Amino acid sequence: MSLLVFVLAAAAFLSAITTIRLAIPGREVEMPNLVGKSVPEAQKMLAMAGLRMRIVDRAYSQQPVDTIVRQSPPPGMLMKVAQQAHVLVSLGERKVEVPALEGKSLRAARIELLRSGLQIGEISSAHLPGFATDAVVLQDPKAGSGESASPRVNLLVSLGEREPAYVMPSLVGLNLLEAQRQLSAIGLRLGKITFYAAPEAARGTIVEQVPKYGTRVTKGADVDLHVAE
């Protein structure tokens, strides 16, 4: 009889303990901010909060080696004691060799940078005699220099030699033959010729021109003329 009473009392006690544990929620703590902390420092912070850490991956970054880059859950979230924080740990900066781009076309330079895991930065362009159009003249950083992952390489690209330019002369009042002679002398071409009535002008003379007098024209440009009938 005494043994039976003890067993029943023990069962009642265990049942009461279980009920209390179910009724009282587990203790919650706030997730600390681990980003930028070293792995040992982060582990210590988590241990003080009753949490654990799991390294899920490592990646190249600008953070020092063995530094937390990302974490999940984020800082400030309430966590049950003994739960884990999942972190991404830095492998440090990855060094890559900048390829030689000078002398290559802009398209070839883009492909070369893509293969190296790099990016094109600022592209400047200028008319440069002695260089083919669309050729890379200068690069920064220089070829062979070690840079961090995905740096931008700035390029100076040639627009080729600048085309000769002239100030458009006045052809109004000249006859068609003289106008054509002046245009040929400076590398311009005779364009569309339109004849129309202009009582105030002598027959066969230029009364209007396109481009206008004084405008900038490049070699080989067409010049349209209006000629008095």
Give the DSSP letter string of 68-111.
EEEEESPTT-EEETT-EEEEEEE--PPPEEPPP-TTSBHHHHHH
Residue among 28, 47, 49, 29 nearest 39 (CA): 47
Q: Residue 23: is its pLDDT beyond 70?
A: no
Domain extents for the chain? Answer: 26-90, 96-158, 165-228
* Predicted pLDDT at 220: 87
| CATH code for residues 165-228 | 3.30.10.20
Task: Indicate if 96-158 has the same CATH topology as 26-90.
Answer: yes
Burial letters for 119-134: b for 16+ Cβ neighbours within 10 Å, e otherwise? ebeeeeeeebeebeeb
54 pLDDT higher than 90? yes
Interval 191-219: pLDDT, tens: 999 998 888 889 999 999 999 999 989 88
CA atoms within 13 A of residue 191's CA, in its CB half-sphere: 13
pTM, 2 dp: 0.45
Domain with residues 26-90, CATH architecture: 2-Layer Sandwich (3.30)
What three-state secondary structure class fits 114?
A: helix
Give residue 4's pLDDT: 44
Q: Is 171 helix (H, G, I), strand (E, B) or coil?
A: coil
The answer, yes or no, to whether residue 9 has pLDDT greater than 80, is no
- Cα–chain center distance at 93: 19
Tell me what the mean pLDDT of segment 138-159 comes to: 81
Average model confidence (pLDDT) across the chain: 85
Q: List the CATH code of the domain at 96-158.
A: 3.30.10.20
